[in-house]
């Protein structure tokens, strides 16, 4: 169980795993593929104070072992979203964390103030801009903190995570999500145009893992690791790096069944591993660390045969 | 909607550029309808990363589908496939319809073939218009009952007015970003030709990438009646006259 405290309120996660913002919709979209109680919490798609329309043109580009996606953060606006999805959030068996994206502190203040006091919302996740500075991080998190008692999770941009983590905590963030998927560009093969957007893939793990490790060593609030987790081993590596929980992103789209596998492995497999007992039946890919070391390290040279003794 | 395993039982190369896979599927996937699709992952590796969008062209039985794929990669008989779906809503054939017009522009007509086969099975006449790059599709792979017309461009489709008048139902498809201009012109022509086109007259199938298939990632949103709706849950076929085209 992970508990994130924010003064009088707290966010309790029965399992150290949740989805990343932007992956599972606004509530209920994945119910037929992933049981709602698979995770410890549900994070909504990004919501803005005023509604946004979908981006025009091509929105997805395939990459090697990854993808680029550019949606424009379409959403009906925070107030309409609460009206439309509030009943689903109220019926959710797990805490609902509303992710808010804002360009200005005023917008964030409005969002935080509106969500404060809505009992179906367990926490607020604030997405910070990709190039946010110390000052901007303090301004935005401070703006949200001033209007809500809810636990605040600050989602840090990957390349700025180390620089602004402390500022976000000082301004009132109760936990840090490390990190948001970075932005990239790719060519749409049909139109021939370059499109820009968030990039996801297996290769993201190494970058996010390093960021988690650095931030965990330098700030002292719970870290939620996110970025490129595709297997139970990936998830464990984030926890070993210092994260107290993890978020799954694009693996949910391409292999939804892996979400349950990772969740099971984190909640049951951790005990199995610590007790050094047999591999978890749920995940046939599990390899005992000792066996893995034996695979990777060269085996010692065979001993020479003992000298034969001369016959008498 | 569910995720389950399927097995590729047979692979047939019906033309140099077209493969047809006979796939044993779960009953839930076998119940797929025209216009719907399945998101398929053939290999355990993550390259390709996105699931393939598999469009069935026929149902052999409750648990066997024929999937048409471009011959750009190999599929192995006996291989296990992870399928998510059925994605989207089925496009119904119009009740009592006797003349189905299918229009494929700048891409393979694969997405239309399930409807074509279903209409032929009901004894309807089916005409298929292949516009632009769609004309490269090997028509020898199609049932002989389908009347095929190849045209270089929508604007120079010589039989356009006559065929749009003839059809009880029109289903069109084109890949993004070429879909919008084609659909705009089709809507204009139908409104010009038909006095009061019934709402179920024309359906357009959107073929944008659908990473999640459940409307969560919002990569496939289409503007309908002032709202953005996911093509993977509310489509991919939409009533042509309800779609907001052209921005």
* pLDDT, tens digit, 9 for 90 and up, residues B113-166: 999 999 999 999 999 999 999 999 999 999 999 999 999 999 899 999 999 999
Report if residue A309 sits inside a domain: no
Q: Is the residue at A264 inside a domain?
A: yes
Q: Which residues of A touch B231 (CB under 8 A)?
A: none
**Which CATH number fits the domain that encloses residue A210?**
3.20.20.70
SS3 B67: strand
Asked if residue A301 is part of any domain, the answer here is no
Interface confidence (ipTM) of the complex: 0.92
Tell me the nearest-neighbour CA distance from B6 into chain A, angstroms.
15
- A140 within some domain: yes
Burial of A93 (0-12, 13-18, 19+ CB in 10 A): exposed
CA distances from B88 to A135, A189, A224, B215, B232 (A): 46, 24, 34, 10, 5
* A312 located within any domain: no
Average pLDDT of chain B, as a whole number: 94
Buried b (16+ CB within 10 A) or exposed e, B149-166: bebeebeebeebeebbee
CB-CB neighbors (< 8 A) of B207 in chain A: none
DSSP state of B90: -
Query: Quick check: is A304 in a domain?
Result: no
* Residue (of B204, B179, B202) closest to B191 by Cα position: B202
Print the domain residue range for A158. Answer: 2-296
Preferred mutation among B2, B49, B72, B222 to probe A, highest tally of A CBs within 10 A: B49
Mean pLDDT calculated for residue range B63-76 = 96
Q: State the total domains in chain A.
A: 1
- The answer to whether residue B170 scores a pLDDT higher than 70 is yes
Chain A residues in contact with B229 by the CB 8 A cut-off are none
Query: A101 to chain B, minimum CA–CA distance in Å?
Result: 16
The pTM of the full predicted model, rounded to 2 decimals, is 0.90
What confidence score (pLDDT) does residue A280 get? 45
Give the other-Cβ count within 10 Å of A139's Cβ: 16
Tens-level pLDDT at each residue, chain A (312 residues): 788 877 778 899 999 999 999 999 999 999 999 999 999 999 999 999 999 999 988 899 999 999 999 999 999 999 999 999 999 999 999 999 999 999 999 999 999 999 998 989 999 999 999 999 999 999 999 999 999 999 999 999 999 999 999 999 999 999 999 999 999 999 987 778 899 999 999 999 999 999 999 999 999 999 999 999 999 999 999 999 999 999 999 999 999 999 999 999 998 765 444 444 444 444 445 555 566 666 666 566 566 666 666 554
| Residue A305 forms part of a structural domain | no
Q: Please check whether residue A100 lies inside any domain of the structure.
A: yes
> What is the model's pLDDT at position A119?
85
> Which of B176, B228, B169 is CA-nearest to residue B201?
B169
B168 min Cα distance to partner chain A (Å): 32
């Amino acid at each position: 169980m992970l508990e994130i405290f924010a003064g009088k309120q707290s966010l309790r996660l029965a399992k150290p795993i949740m989805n990343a913002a932007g992956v599972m919709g606004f509530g209920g979209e994945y119910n037929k593929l992933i049981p709602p109680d698979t995770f410890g919490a549900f994070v909504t798609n990004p919501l803005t104070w005023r509604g946004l329309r979908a981006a025009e043109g091509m929105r997805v580009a395939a990459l090697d072992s990854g993808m680029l996606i550019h949606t424009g953060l379409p959403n009906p606006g925070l107030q309409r979203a609460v009206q439309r999805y509030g009943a689903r959030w109220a019926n959710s068996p797990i805490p609902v964390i509303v992710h808010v994206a804002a360009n200005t502190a005023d917008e964030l203040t409005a969002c935080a103030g509106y969500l404060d006091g809505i009992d179906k919302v367990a926490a607020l996740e604030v997405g910070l801009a990709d190039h946010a500075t110390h000052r901007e991080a303090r301004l935005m998190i401070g703006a949200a903190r001033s209007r809500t008692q809810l636990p605040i999770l600050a989602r840090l941009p990957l390349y700025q995570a180390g620089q602004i983590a402390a500022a976000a905590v000082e301004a009132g963030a109760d936990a840090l999500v490390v990190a948001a998927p970075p932005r990239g560009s790719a060519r749409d093969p049909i139109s021939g145009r370059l499109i820009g957007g968030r990039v996801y893939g297996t290769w993201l793990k190494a970058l996010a893992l390093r960021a988690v490790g650095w931030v965990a060593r330098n700030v002292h609030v719970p870290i939620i690791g996110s970025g490129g987790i595709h297997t139970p081993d990936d998830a464990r590596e984030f926890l070993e790096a210092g994260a107290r929980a993890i978020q799954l992103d694009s693996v949910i789209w391409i292999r939804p069944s892996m979400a349950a596998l990772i969740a099971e492995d984190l909640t049951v497999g951790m005990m199995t591993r610590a007790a050094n007992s047999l591999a978890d039946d749920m995940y046939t890919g599990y390899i005992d660390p000792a066996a893995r070391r034996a695979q990777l390290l060269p085996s010692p040279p065979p001993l020479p045969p003992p000298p034969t003794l001369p016959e008498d | 909607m569910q995720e389950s395993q399927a097995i590729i039982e047979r692979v047939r190369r019906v033309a140099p550029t077209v493969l047809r896979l006979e796939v044993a599927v779960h009953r839930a996937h076998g119940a797929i309808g025209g216009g719907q699709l399945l998101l398929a992952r053939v290999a355990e590796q993550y390259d390709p990363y996105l699931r393939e969008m598999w469009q069935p062209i026929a149902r052999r039985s409750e648990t066997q589908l024929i999937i048409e794929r471009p011959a750009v990669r190999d599929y192995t008989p006996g291989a296990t496939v992870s399928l998510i779906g059925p994605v989207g809503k089925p496009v119904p054939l119009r009740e009592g319809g006797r003349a189905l017009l299918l229009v494929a522009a700048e891409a393979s007509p694969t997405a239309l073939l399930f409807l074509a086969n279903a209409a032929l099975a009901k004894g309807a006449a089916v005409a298929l218009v292949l516009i632009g790059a769609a004309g490269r599709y090997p028509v020898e792979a199609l049932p002989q009952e389908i009347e095929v017309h190849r045209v270089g461009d929508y604007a120079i489709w010589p039989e356009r007015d006559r065929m749009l008048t003839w059809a009880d139902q029109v289903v069109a498809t084109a890949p993004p970003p070429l879909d919008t201009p084609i659909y705009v012109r089709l809507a204009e022509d139908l409104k010009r030709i038909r006095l009061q086109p019934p709402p179920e007259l024309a359906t357009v199938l959107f073929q944008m990438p659908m990473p999640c298939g459940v409307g969560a990632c919002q990569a496939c949103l289409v503007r309908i009646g002032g709202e953005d709706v996911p093509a993977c849950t509310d489509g991919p076929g939409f009533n042509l006259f309800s779609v907001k085209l052209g921005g």
